[in-house]
A and B are shown apart, each in its own frame.
Chain A
């Protein structure tokens, strides 16, 4: 049995009619709503035209020209699960505080040392946390420009063991990401957006 269990044929489709796939019928590459470059295939329509965008005052989008030059992605840790383990002493013992993973090269450029607090800002909000300086994230060369990426684990918010002790900035990580909703899976664009990084 193959892996494509969701299609009636059991195999992948190159042509997916609009009844099956909201942004079909052919596979296509789109950049996220906030991207360091314009889409090389068709710069005039860089991002997906059928995503759902919200219309609150917080739904602003940033561009590299505004200083948002660092790519940011959010993800999960093994030691925590979503937002409830920040209330569990065992999980909090394993990973106690929110942090931001910063590449060594970017940290050296900005003079950041590991454990120092940094402020990550997107067009929507700011997130302050300690920096984890790591070699595991390497700088990227995109369109001839050296582009950095940082990583923000999501598991902290406004209540929790560390939060209630006043050891965190109380901001959820998803204040940073844009609420641009995928037309098929209804997932917001948590995984790729632009930020700027500053020392606190």
Chain B
């Protein structure tokens, strides 16, 4: 089912052909996050909570500016703060916006056994459909980024939707709209990836960050959220971003190996049973078991 942006085919009383006519719109969207210019103001956290009408929770002081330890069922977007001391003694205060990465090859989707609980749209957004969720929490362990969180009252799992409701109407996600520094951008995957590569090059050439790079891990097929990092060789410094995110092997073995084999065996059970009936006949009444001698 497509909820794409409306494209004009014909306009009445119009002088020329409708603009962009015949142009094939690129489907895949992407969120661009420039960690180097983030100021940690949390406007994006507030925008997400407000747009998604999420109830507030009580938080406590935890020796950091970070709002809470990890994302929650009612807190899908979290800035992670880390103080990193470099070898030369200087300090970097790293702030990374943490939310669902909308992987091209999502671990949550592979792990989920419930039909329709997780959908991946053609534009790359991975969305949870809570009506179909059975609350098994396999997605929680299937995610290499520890994003989905379970609500023990409703027994469903929740995460960032990349504002699929806003994107479906041609708007940018709420977090991107709220950001005051312009370190968050939204557009097509190729545009955002190109922007990120250009920004990383600028950091390497002109800003004294020789290890700057773009975080778009191929191990999950690339993600629809790309980060520009000062130091792409140590992503774990940025609030535990995995250097090589992997979907746990158990889910791959289950869905890609054991499940097809099992289905195949089940499929052949019917003809095997049929042929056994034809050749050996129905089950005969059996003599009673002999009693064991005392």
Which residues of chain A (95-141) have a CB below 8 Å from chain B? 95-97, 99, 114-115, 130-136
- Tell me which of A95, A96, A132, A136 contacts B91 (CB under 8 A): A136
Nearest-CB distance from A137 to chain B (Å)? 10
Whether A94 touches B46, Cβ cut-off 8 Å, given contacts A134-B83, A136-B93, is yes
Q: Are A78 and B64 in contact (CB-based, < 8 A)?
A: no
Q: Are B57 and A93 in contact (CB-based, < 8 A)?
A: yes
> Does residue A164 face the partner (Cβ distance < 8 Å to B)?
no
Q: Are B45 and A133 in contact (CB-based, < 8 A)?
A: no
Q: Are B61 and A115 in contact (CB-based, < 8 A)?
A: yes
Which residues of chain B (116-135) have a CB below 8 Å from chain A? none
Chain B residues, Cβ within 8 Å of A94: 42, 45-46, 59, 67
For the complex, would chain B's binding face be called helix, strand, loop or mixed by DSSP majority?
Answer: loop
Interface string of B38-60 (1 = CB under 8 A from A): 01111001100110000011111
> Does residue B291 face the partner (Cβ distance < 8 Å to A)?
no
Specify the chain B residue showing the minimal Cβ separation from A113.
B63
> Does residue B85 face the partner (Cβ distance < 8 Å to A)?
yes
A105 to B203, CA, bound (A): 32
Q: Are B49 and A96 in contact (CB-based, < 8 A)?
A: no
Q: Are A96 and B60 in contact (CB-based, < 8 A)?
A: yes
* A-B contact number at CB 8 A: 51
Number of B positions contacting A (CB below 8 A): 23
Q: Are B40 and A96 in contact (CB-based, < 8 A)?
A: no
> Does residue A198 face the partner (Cβ distance < 8 Å to B)?
no
Chain B residues, Cβ within 8 Å of A131: 63
Specify the chain B residue showing the minimal Cβ separation from A97.
B61
Q: Are A96 and B59 in contact (CB-based, < 8 A)?
A: yes
Q: Are A114 and B58 in contact (CB-based, < 8 A)?
A: no
Chain B residues, Cβ within 8 Å of A96: 58-61
Binding site for A on B (CB under 8 A): 39-42, 45-46, 49-50, 56-65, 67, 83, 85, 91, 93
**Additional 17 contacts, C-beta under 8 A, given A114-B63, A132-B64:** A78-B39, A78-B40, A78-B42, A79-B41, A89-B56, A93-B56, A93-B59, A93-B67, A94-B45, A94-B59, A94-B67, A96-B61, A114-B64, A133-B63, A134-B83, A136-B91, A136-B93
